Amino acid sequence: MPAPERIPPGRVTSVDLLAKGELTVRGRVREASNAVLYCSVSYEGEKAHCVYKPVAGERPLWDFPDGTLAQREVAAYELCEAMGWSLVPPTVLRDGPYGEGMVQLWIEADPSASLLALVEDEEPGEGWKAVGFAEVGEGRTALLVHADDARLRRLAVLDAVINNGDRKGGHLLPTVDGALYAIDHGVTFNVDDKLRTLLWGWAGESLPPEAAESLATLAAALGEGTPLTTRLAELLTAAEVEALRGRVDALRESGRHPGPSGEWPAIPWPPV
């Protein structure tokens, strides 16, 4: 399925389709650690494919409250939209065949797009950013790099804001029309610094002007009593919302991409 098209005014939106449509399970994504079901959804003549992650299929994590991953996925979508960056596919929380869960529009990635690579050189080539060296077997190492891409850079900022503890290569979905989407945001919004990502190439560099503008917009949207704050209060704890505000303020004050804290593994495993 191609990336979600822009639906003209007056027609069913992607969010309406996901939230109100009839959900039919078609199969299971078996590579996932939690239950992830591939579904179709239809509503008032509109149809699409989507992913359904029931809360009942979530495996407990020691550092997150049980049964909260679906809410965090929705919170990541809501917050990304508030920043003006449509990097997260439309995502809703609703009841489904196996109870309440997260439902997200399916994105078909372009298999020819290359955003990550392992290279034999000591330094990244033009158009690439270094992440670090990785063992590739038989005592050999290679340099892990990611594209010096404005879309990825926005995503690196978003991950710092939502405190993403699991940004892997397989979560990046570039599409044939040039868009980039990111998925799997269940381990986010922790009050402790959990940032683990493959997108460290800009660490310590100044934030681009568009990121500074989006962070200013987000800071205003996170004021007391705003629609975004009210919505996030339904999905996260009060402490997590307050920690979110603190991360936004810290990014705006520093004006730079954060680096690894040193208190937590900087790169998720497995990295893809």
Q: Residue 214 corresponds to which tokens in the numbers above?
A: 């989006």
Give CB contacts under 8 A, 24+ apart, made by 39-47: 39/96, 39/103, 41/17, 41/103, 42/17, 43/12, 43/16, 43/17, 44/12, 45/12, 46/7, 46/11, 46/12, 46/17, 46/21
Chain centre distance of CA 168: 10
Q: What is the pLDDT of residue 245?
A: 98
**Over residues 62-81, mean pLDDT:** 96
Mean pLDDT of the chain: 92
**Over residues 63-67, mean pLDDT:** 93
In tens, the pLDDT along 76-97 reads 999 999 999 999 999 999 999 9
Name the percent of the chain lying above pLDDT 90. 82
180: burial class by Cβ within 10 Å (0-12, 13-18, 19+)?
buried
Q: Is the dihedral of CA 97, 1, 181, 109 positive or negative?
A: positive
Q: What is the pLDDT of residue 9?
A: 46
**Over residues 134-151, mean pLDDT:** 87
Q: What is the pLDDT of residue 272?
A: 67
State the pTM of this model.
Answer: 0.92
What is the helix (H) or strand (E) element at residue 53, kind and residue range?
Answer: strand 46-54
Q: What is the pLDDT of residue 4?
A: 44
* 11 and 48 Cβ atoms separated by less than 8 Å: no
* CA dist., res. 247 & res. 39, Å (int): 35
From residue 33, give the alpha-carbon distance in Å to each of 6, 61, 116.
32, 11, 22
Q: Single out the residue of 98, 96, 74 nearest to residue 21, CA to CA.
A: 96
Residue 129 pLDDT class (50, 70, 90 cuts) = very high
Q: Does residue 61 surpass a pLDDT of 70?
A: yes
* 215 and 246 Cβ atoms separated by less than 8 Å: no
Q: Which of 138-152, 175-189, 204-218, 234-248 has the lowest mean pLDDT?
A: 138-152
* 41 and 95 Cβ atoms separated by less than 8 Å: no
CB neighbourhood size of 190 (10 A): 19
DSSP string of 79-113, one letter each residue: HHHHTT---S--EEEEEETTEEEEEEE-----TT-
Which residue type sits at 154?
R
